[in-house]
């Protein structure tokens, strides 16, 4: 155990306050997290009604019931209810209008601060500009914008109209953007001209021109001068309205609980990205629950997560407004001028809850950073980590170098539900290498192939056995629901299959060991890829790695291939190869010593940092790179070229290219 809650954590936390509310309104007496979690599974209707009541979700029209059925897919939550996400996100303005709603820090321009009153004013004026351009309920508005204040303003204005939002980060290439947005046929585009990434000047003018050519449905383009402050300024024109008139005209479209709020997209590494539709009500309830009850966030607290607008964590961060917390936005390169950038941000902005990725934590560890000693992180009480499993060494580094009192919140979920379903809670201890608990209302289990539940300590398929309000309303254009069923409900009838391997411990925590379709199964010994990376990437010469198992159709052990990206100045020597083999044999199993170890310049990753294990495996089995992965969905498209070149060398060497 590496972190324990204070003795009075239950009574002092918002979680405890919620439990007292449940008891005072006719529900059970809940005295700890486990009781609350169990109640959320046994009485989901009562639980989600209480979440709505306690978080102050006020419906324009009340629901006829909490949910129409418990079947998946097809569950209907709060039928008959109407509401508006933006209205609930801006209600703090009536309570503390002069307090800070948003802090926007950028490497491209000066810091921007908006009070709740200023945020509401800008949303009202942006809304008026959208109405003038014909945007209304059901229209799609897309944004090629970075994580800055204007993006949040535009999103809330779009949501207030009952229009539908979708965003891509300017880091996305043309194909990655058009593969997404041609599916939803938007009528208005908001875009920047470019951006700075650290010291790099990134012009996106040609990208924007190609995107416009590919989207004939567009009727309006609003340009925000970001790279060139003196450039074409459609944003100021959009907001050029009298504040009084805009405030008077401000209204919130009353929409059904499952009315589309935004369309998020799967990473799109293979085929067209899935257009995942999330509803006003489900996102509002889930994010209010997660931020208030699991991160203990409320008015006066400051929250940040390093993300771009193309990752679901941007949507999660933006929802800080639902609980009255201040969202601290960052746009830029977290490694420029060095890896201290985000720690400096946390100190300068006095952030209470900071979120990063697991690879970022491990990079800081490898760089031997000491942020707790270098910066004043006295406000920091929680460090979240997601995007990949956080190795045990990452937990220990955070404890030793960030702060022994900082709660370590390893989180796992997905774009599909736009939240985490296993993660932290303010009254649950943290154990090294484990995600602390199932999150409230998220009935996550580990299943064997026959659909039976795994025992503690047994690895199985990660499934969700009860519906959650933030599960997709559907896929855009999937009128008969066949794509949705195929994506999540084919393996086990009526049960959501997520595609990860998970192991629950006897204390209720869990460990996720990688994608179930990238499992390393050698001689009956099955390991997740994260186990492999923990060992290999702990070596000082290894910057990154990717492992793939090519199964033998005849039943043999197959071939295990390990490709390494090394730190500057390191060489793939016989000594390093020998050390890798020794470590894997000792730490994992003799059956998981790679048959092939070789070097590549860069490991291919998505823009949100996930390794392309399945596409690389497909390429090794003969799938062309263009069919295996979308280049524009990658952080470094050239990484695919390196894989292609390596496969070519392997072929000319007569099969296995061993080192």
Q: What is the DSSP string of 460-521?
A: EEEEE-S--TTS-SEETT-TTSHHHHHHHSSSSTTSEEEEEEEEE-TTS-EEEEEEGGG-EE
The reported pLDDT for the residue numbered 656 is 45
Question: Parallel, antiparallel, or unpaired: how do β-strands 326-331 and 100-106 relate?
Answer: parallel
The separation between CA 381 and the C-alpha centre of its own chain, rounded to angstroms, equals: 21
Angle at 367 between CA 361 and CA 373, to 5 degrees: 80
**HSE-up (13 A, CA, CB side) for residue 179:** 20
The H or E element spanning position 104 is: strand 100-106
DSSP assignment, residue 116? H
Structural domain count, the chain: 1
Question: Parallel, antiparallel, or unpaired: how do β-strands 260-265 and 559-566 relate?
Answer: unpaired
Residue 339 in any domain: the answer is: no
**Mean pLDDT of successive 10-residue segments in the chain (659 residues)?**
97 98 98 98 97 96 92 94 98 97 94 98 98 98 97 98 96 87 98 87 93 97 93 96 97 98 80 90 98 98 96 96 98 93 98 94 93 98 91 95 98 95 98 97 95 94 96 96 94 93 95 77 66 86 92 72 94 94 83 90 85 87 83 84 91 59
Q: Which residues of 163-183 are buried (b: 16+ CB within 10 A; e: fewer)?
A: bbbbbbbbbbbbbbbbbbbeb
- Contact indicator for 161, 127 with CB cutoff of 8 Å: yes
Lookup: tokens for 436: 């602390």
SS3 89: helix
The reported pLDDT for the residue numbered 525 is 60
Instruction: Identify the bridge partners of residue 100 per DSSP, sorted by sequence position.
Output: 115
Residue 313 in any domain: the answer is: no
Domain that holds residue 637: 519-652
CATH code of the domain covering residue 575? 3.30.300.30
The reported pLDDT for the residue numbered 521 is 67
H runs (alpha helix) in 8-148: 9-12, 14-24, 33-42, 44-54, 85-89, 116-132
Instruction: Identify the bridge partners of residue 463 per DSSP, sorted by sequence position.
Output: 445, 497
- Contact indicator for 153, 126 with CB cutoff of 8 Å: yes
- Contact indicator for 260, 283 with CB cutoff of 8 Å: no
The reported pLDDT for the residue numbered 618 is 85
Q: Say which residues have a Cβ less than 8 Å from residue 66's Cβ, sequence separation at least 6.
A: 44, 45, 46, 48, 49, 77, 78
The H or E element spanning position 247 is: helix 243-249
Lookup: tokens for 152: 């949040």
Residue 544 in any domain: the answer is: yes
Lookup: tokens for 153: 């303003």
Angle at 207 between CA 206 and CA 209, to 5 degrees: 65
Q: Say which residues have a Cβ less than 8 Å from residue 239's Cβ, sequence separation at least 6.
A: 122, 125, 126, 129
Lookup: tokens for 605: 């990753």
Residue 28 in any domain: the answer is: no
Residue 643 in any domain: the answer is: yes
Residue 595 in any domain: the answer is: yes
Its pTM stands at 0.87
DSSP string, 38-65: HHHHH-HHHHHHHHHHHTT---SB--SS
Residue 592 in any domain: the answer is: yes
Give the integer Cα–Cα distance in Å for 310 and 545.
Answer: 24
What torsion do the CA atoms of 655, 657, 658, 659 make, to the nearest 10 degrees?
Answer: 170
Residue 631 in any domain: the answer is: yes
């Amino acid at each position: 155990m590496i972190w324990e809650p204070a003795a009075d954590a239950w009574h002092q936390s918002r979680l405890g306050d919620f439990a007292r509310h449940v008891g005072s309104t006719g529900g059970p007496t809940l005295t700890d997290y486990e009781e609350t979690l169990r109640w959320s599974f046994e009485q989901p209707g009562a639980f989600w009604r209480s979440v709505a009541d306690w978080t102050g979700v006020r419906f324009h029209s009340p629901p006829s019931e909490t949910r129409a059925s418990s079947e998946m897919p097809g569950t209907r939550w709060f039928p008959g209810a109407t509401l508006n996400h933006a209205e609930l996100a801006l209600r703090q303005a009536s309570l503390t209008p002069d307090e800070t709603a948003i802090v926007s820090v950028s490497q491209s321009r000066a810091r921007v601060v908006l009070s709740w009153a200023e945020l509401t004013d800008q949303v009202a004026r942006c809304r008026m500009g959208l109405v003038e351009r014909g945007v209304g309920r059901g229209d799609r508005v897309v944004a090629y914008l970075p994580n800055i204040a204007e993006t949040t303003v535009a999103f809330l204005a779009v949501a207030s109209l009952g229009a539908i939002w979708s965003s891509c980060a300017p880091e996305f290439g043309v194909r990655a953007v058009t593969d997404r947005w041609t599916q939803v046929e938007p009528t208005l585009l908001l875009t920047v001209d470019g951006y700075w990434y650290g010291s790099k000047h990134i012009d996106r003018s040609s990208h924007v021109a190609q995107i416009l050519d590919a989207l004939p449905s567009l009727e309006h383009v609003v340009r925000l001068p970001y790279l060139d402050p003196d450039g074409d300024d459609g944003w100021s024109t959009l907001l050029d309205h009298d504040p009084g008139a805009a405030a008077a005209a401000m209204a919130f479209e009353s929409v059904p609980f499952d009315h589309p709020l935004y369309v998020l997209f799967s990473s799109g590494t293979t085929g067209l990205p899935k257009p995942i539709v999330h509803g006003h009500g489900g996102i509002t309830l889930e994010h209010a629950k997660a931020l208030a009850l699991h991160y203990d966030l409320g008015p006066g607290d400051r929250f940040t997560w390093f993300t771009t607008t193309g990752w679901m964590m941007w949507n999660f961060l933006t929802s800080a407004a639902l609980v009255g917390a201040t969202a601290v936005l960052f746009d830029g390169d977290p490694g420029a001028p060095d890896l201290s950038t985000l720690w400096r941000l946390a100190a300068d902005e006095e952030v209470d809850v900071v979120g990063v990725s697991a690879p970022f934590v491990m990079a800081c560890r490898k760089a031997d950073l000491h942020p707790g000693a270098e910066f004043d992180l006295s406000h920091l009480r929680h460090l979240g980590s997601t995007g990949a499993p956080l190795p045990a060494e990452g937990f220990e580094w955070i404890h030793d170098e960030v702060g022994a009192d900082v709660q370590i919140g390893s989180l796992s979920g997905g774009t599909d539900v736009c939240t985490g379903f296993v993660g932290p809670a303010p009254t649950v201890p943290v154990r090294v290498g484990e995600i602390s608990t199932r999150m409230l209302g998220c009935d996550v289990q580990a299943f064997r192939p026959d659909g039976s539940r795994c025992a503690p300590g047994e690895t199985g398929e990660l499934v969700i056995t009860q519906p959650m309000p933030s599960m997709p309303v559907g896929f855009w254009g999937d009128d008969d629901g066949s794509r949705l069923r195929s994506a999540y409900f084919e393996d086990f009838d009526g049960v959501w299959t997520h595609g990860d391997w998970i192991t629950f411990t006897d204390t209720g925590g869990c460990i996720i060991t990688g994608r179930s379709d990238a499992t390393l199964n050698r001689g009956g010994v099955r390991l997740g890829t994260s186990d492999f990376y923990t060992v290999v990437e702990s070596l000082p010469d290894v910057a990154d790695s990717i492992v793939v198992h090519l199964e033998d159709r005849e039943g043999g052990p197959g071939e295990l291939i390990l490709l390494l990206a090394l730190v500057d100045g390191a060489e793939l020597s016989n000594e390093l190869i020998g050390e890798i083999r020794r470590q894997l044999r000792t730490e994992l199993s003799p059956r998981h010593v790679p048959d092939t170890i070789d070097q590549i310049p860069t490991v291919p990753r998505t823009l949100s940092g996930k390794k392309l294990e399945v596409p690389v495996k497909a390429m090794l089995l003969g799938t062309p790179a263009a069919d295996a992965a979308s280049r524009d969905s990658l952080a470094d498209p050239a990484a695919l070229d390196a894989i292609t070149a390596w496969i070519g060398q392997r072929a000319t060497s007569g099969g296995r290219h061993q080192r």
